[in-house]
Amino acid sequence: MHGSGAEISREVFWNILGPGFPTEQVLLYVLVVIALLLFFHGLAKSGFFTRMKAVTSAKGSDVERVNNAWDRFWYMVVDVFGHRKILREPYQGVFHLFIFWGFVALAITTAIVFLQADVIWPIWHVWFMEGNFYLGLSLFADVFGFVAIVGILMAMARRYFMKPKWLDEKAEDKVILWFILAILVTGFVVEALRIQATETDPASPMNPYIWFSPVGRTVAFLFSGMSMDALRDTHVVLWWTHVIGALGFIVFIAYSKLLHIVMTPVNIFLRPDTPQPPIRVMPPEMFENAETFGIHNLEEYSWKDLFDTEACMRCGRCVEVCPAFNTDKPLMPRDVIQNIRTYMENKAKFALDADGNYHIIPDEEYTGPALIGDGIEKDTIWACTTCMACVEACPAYILQFPKLIDLRRYLVMMESDFPAEVMDVFKGMENNSNPWSIGAHTRADWAKGLDVPLLSEKGEAEYLFYVGCAGAFDDLNKKVAVSLAKIFKAAGLDFAILGTEEGCCGDSAKKIGNEYVYQALAMANIETFKAYNVNKIITMCPHGYTALKHDYKELGGSFQVFHYTEILDKLIKQGKITLKQPIENLGTITYHDSCYLGRYNKIYDQPRNILKALKSGSLVEMKSHHAKRFCCGAGGGRMWMEEDLGTRINQKRTQEAEASGAKTICTACPFCYTMLSDGIKELELSEKLQAFDIAQLVAKAAGLDEKTNKSGNDEEQEAAN
């Protein structure tokens, strides 16, 4: 820069500006303006504004998105700069962090240079880019530029060599990496040429500080033999290449997944601020006056559903963790989002008239590819176990699986189109309030002879033990209900059951998409709970736990709900249950986290605390555990559907348990218990593996073994067999 005079600094626009009028500087600004214009042109060209019209025309209901704006803002800042979610996956987390921080650092550096050269110097004639500050800045930019290159190389290694099967492959994916690499490399080369020309001479005042640009200095060795003229000529050419590349990158953002640089932070700000991933609320009165239910049409989405598709950069983390995808089923959560986006693009084009005005197209008039069938296959819609892995993995806070529930709702409630085997489940729920279709009058039979207090007889109790359908009707899980009743009694807990007054929680109906049946079941339970002034509820099943604790609130049912593992953990800590009986043949234990307990409700520690308190066996974790654990395959109503596509989820999970070296798999969910017990049988692993519910082990260790019960179900069951 002309006349800064500072010795420890550098001339901005060295070798670029000619004498007199700074033509090149003006040209640079012209280019910047052109780049920005091209960026917006690119947005228009790639359909962004049309899509935004579709987004703003959407009519579906949504949750709060801008409340607590300040908290949301800070959450976003921490998430973006700290990579809270992105770092869940170490490799891609780290390389994204490197590229991201490389960019941020270089952007900061560029902004400082701009302020110095184009604002502060021309106006106030102050030169602050000197001395230690300059050296620090130089080092800062150099190091972060290098870090960004390392990140890009790691990303390239993944795209070219590691090639994980869940990674999407579009032309732009590789182009972007080469593009960024080229910008970074030319940047360093330009720097190196300048250093070679101006700082290698021992007489240069900068020479002693030359290593404050370590990468630039190192690269400069390549040019040590070049003449000053050659250095200058190469520098000019590469400087403009670098500048045009960087500005081209800005334009490219509009055309590519790079738009996530803008859209994803916005989506993080707009993230659902609810304890559960929100599934669209259907107010009960809707069933009286609405004409259509669920989603099969663009406008039925909420604006945020459609906006989600803008924030998706196809990273594939949701695919990587999806149990359906990992067992070769035709479901990739990323593609669900991308296909909704494609559908939106198609329909939005239809919706534009010649003057560019956007009209909502009635269904009958739209002849393009449909959402269900063309965009998203029915097999995809039914493959989901609602395990929530996708939602939890998504760094952009997109809601993937709830969008499938919207589609299920349409198929079930409008078209009666669902896997045939689900018919009996619905009828069982409607007629006998359980998906097993077993007579409702037998709901309390599991408790016969156990002297379990009935709320109708006891009048009131501190805790309602809500057993749920599995504990009441499924032979395997009746044993768990029996264990729990015995433990509660032994611990002196003031509890009662509803017996035949209990009804199905409705979770399976809700997740299969039959909100109508779900609400009927939920309202019946809420009414019963309220009639007995129930406040505290213990559930045996994590699905009932989630329904009663969270979902019932939408229907006016607000209760204090506990999963039994929370209660047992507390009772053990309080010394109300003593686990002194050794349990034989337990071996190494591994705990399988239930999705609805873990991911949905963050209950990870209590079940493990209980297992540690057993003093029999030792605890080992499977390959995937806690938040990243693999599903059993039964959630989302999949418990009731045939699994005829791909391989079986329960078997994959059973194999993971086997690989952990454990002899005993413990569960705290009746569905998981069933699925893993079946997995052991199907894989003929009975000699190596056994499955138990935690409650059964606690009962054994407390000397309350279910087998010692004279009038329990085991004997009757054996007799019936």
Partner 1 sequence: MNTVVCIKQVPDTETLIKVQGAGIVTEGIKWVMNPYDEFAVEEALRQKEKMKAGSVAIVSLGPDRGIEAIRTGLAMGADTAVHVNDAAYYDKADPYATAAALAAAIKGLQYDAIFMGKQAIDDDAAQVPAMLAEMLGIPAITMVVKFEVAADKSTATVTREIEGGQAVVEVPLPAVFSAQKGLNEPRYASLPGIMKAKKKPVDVKTAADLGASEGPKTVVKEMTLPPARQAGKVIAGDDAAAKAKELARILHEEVKIV
Write down the least CB distance from residue 719 to partner 1, Å.
4
Write down the least CB distance from residue 408 to partner 1, Å.
13
Per CB under 8 A, which region of 200-208, 319-327, 430-438, 701-709 contacts partner 1?
430-438
- 718 touching partner 1, by CB under 8 A: yes
The residue from 164, 439, 459, 492 that contacts partner 1 (CB under 8 A) is: 439
The residue from 52, 414, 444, 476 that contacts partner 1 (CB under 8 A) is: 414
Q: Which of residues 441-470 bind partner 1 (CB under 8 A)?
A: 441-442
Per CB under 8 A, which region of 153-161, 223-231, 433-441, 703-711 contacts partner 1?
433-441
Write down the least CB distance from residue 395 to partner 1, Å.
37
Number of residues that bind partner 1 (CB under 8 A): 29
- 364 touching partner 1, by CB under 8 A: no
Measured from the CB atom, the residue of 52 and 438 that comes closer to partner 1 is 438
The residue from 228, 423, 531, 659 that contacts partner 1 (CB under 8 A) is: 423
Measured from the CB atom, the residue of 227 and 721 that comes closer to partner 1 is 721
The residue from 71, 363, 374, 415 that contacts partner 1 (CB under 8 A) is: 415
Distance CA 433, CA 528 (A): 14
Per CB under 8 A, which region of 13-21, 54-62, 97-105, 412-420 contacts partner 1?
412-420
Per CB under 8 A, which region of 26-34, 193-201, 291-299, 704-712 contacts partner 1?
291-299
- 382 touching partner 1, by CB under 8 A: no
**In contact, 630 and 656? CB cutoff 8 Å:** yes
Write down the least CB distance from residue 297 to partner 1, Å.
15
Q: Report the 3 state secondary structure along 439-483.
A: CHHHCCHHHCCCCCCEHHHHCCCCEEEECHHHHHHCHHHHHHHHH
**In contact, 184 and 152? CB cutoff 8 Å:** yes
Write down the least CB distance from residue 700 to partner 1, Å.
24
Per CB under 8 A, which region of 62-70, 84-92, 300-308, 410-418 contacts partner 1?
410-418
- 520 touching partner 1, by CB under 8 A: no
What is residue 208's three-state secondary structure?
helix
Return the half-sphere exposure (C-beta side, CA atoms, 13 A cut-off) of residue 655: 9
Distance CA 614, CA 604 (A): 17
Per CB under 8 A, which region of 105-113, 416-424, 539-547, 615-623 contacts partner 1?
416-424
- 420 touching partner 1, by CB under 8 A: yes
Measured from the CB atom, the residue of 513 and 598 that comes closer to partner 1 is 513
Structure tokens belonging to residue 512: 């299969």
**In contact, 596 and 275? CB cutoff 8 Å:** no
What is residue 358's three-state secondary structure?
strand
Closest CA to 638 of 400, 391, 331: 331
Strand-pair partners of 496: 464
- 522 touching partner 1, by CB under 8 A: no
Distance CA 680, CA 675 (A): 9
Other C-beta atoms lying within 10 Å of the C-beta of residue 20:
6
The residue from 200, 437, 655, 660 that contacts partner 1 (CB under 8 A) is: 437
Distance CA 111, CA 105 (A): 10
Distance CA 481, CA 451 (A): 13
Write down the least CB distance from residue 439 to partner 1, Å.
4
**In contact, 548 and 466? CB cutoff 8 Å:** yes
DSSP string, 101-142: HHHHHHHHHHHHHHIIIIIIHHHH----S-HHHHHHHHHHHH
**Neighbour-count burial for 559-569, b at 16+ CB within 10 Å, e otherwise:** bebbbbbbbbb
Return the amino acid letter for 404: L
Measured from the CB atom, the residue of 4 and 434 that comes closer to partner 1 is 434
Per CB under 8 A, which region of 54-62, 99-107, 203-211, 409-417 contacts partner 1?
409-417
- 438 touching partner 1, by CB under 8 A: yes
Per CB under 8 A, which region of 2-10, 115-123, 418-426, 550-558 contacts partner 1?
418-426
Output phi, psi for 499, to 5 deg: 65, -130
Instruction: Look up residue 365 and give its DSSP letter.
Output: G
Q: Which of residues 696-715 bind partner 1 (CB under 8 A)?
A: 715
- 281 touching partner 1, by CB under 8 A: no
- 528 touching partner 1, by CB under 8 A: no
Measured from the CB atom, the residue of 412 and 614 that comes closer to partner 1 is 412
Other C-beta atoms lying within 10 Å of the C-beta of residue 281:
13
**Neighbour-count burial for 597-635, b at 16+ CB within 10 Å, e otherwise:** bbbbbebbebbbebbebbebbeebebebbebbbbbbbbb
Other C-beta atoms lying within 10 Å of the C-beta of residue 454:
16
Write down the least CB distance from residue 152 to partner 1, Å.
52
Measured from the CB atom, the residue of 342 and 437 that comes closer to partner 1 is 437
Closest CA to 592 of 547, 628, 549, 545: 628
Per CB under 8 A, which region of 184-192, 387-395, 438-446, 695-703 contacts partner 1?
438-446
- 416 touching partner 1, by CB under 8 A: yes
Measured from the CB atom, the residue of 136 and 439 that comes closer to partner 1 is 439
**In contact, 667 and 702? CB cutoff 8 Å:** no
- 283 touching partner 1, by CB under 8 A: no
Closest CA to 410 of 381, 380, 443: 381
The residue from 56, 431, 578, 708 that contacts partner 1 (CB under 8 A) is: 431
Distance CA 291, CA 482 (A): 45
The residue from 263, 312, 440, 561 that contacts partner 1 (CB under 8 A) is: 440
Write down the least CB distance from residue 515 to partner 1, Å.
9
Per CB under 8 A, which region of 63-71, 227-235, 288-296, 301-309 contacts partner 1?
288-296
Write down the least CB distance from residue 711 to partner 1, Å.
12
- 716 touching partner 1, by CB under 8 A: yes
Measured from the CB atom, the residue of 229 and 718 that comes closer to partner 1 is 718
- 413 touching partner 1, by CB under 8 A: yes
Helices and strands (H, E) in the chain, number of each type: 30, 8
| Residues counted in the chain | 721
- 591 touching partner 1, by CB under 8 A: no
Check the CA dihedral 179-321-261-370 and report its sign.
positive
**Neighbour-count burial for 291-309, b at 16+ CB within 10 Å, e otherwise:** eebbbbbbbbbbbbbbbbb
Measured from the CB atom, the residue of 137 and 411 that comes closer to partner 1 is 411
Per CB under 8 A, which region of 245-253, 334-342, 413-421, 544-552 contacts partner 1?
413-421
Distance CA 354, CA 558 (A): 53
Helix 303-311 and helix 260-269: axis angle, to 10°? 140
The residue from 95, 252, 293, 488 that contacts partner 1 (CB under 8 A) is: 293
Per CB under 8 A, which region of 137-145, 317-325, 342-350, 417-425 contacts partner 1?
417-425
Distance CA 681, CA 478 (A): 19
Binding site for partner 1 (CB under 8 A): 287-288, 291-293, 412-416, 418, 420, 423, 426, 431-432, 437-442, 516, 715-716, 718-721
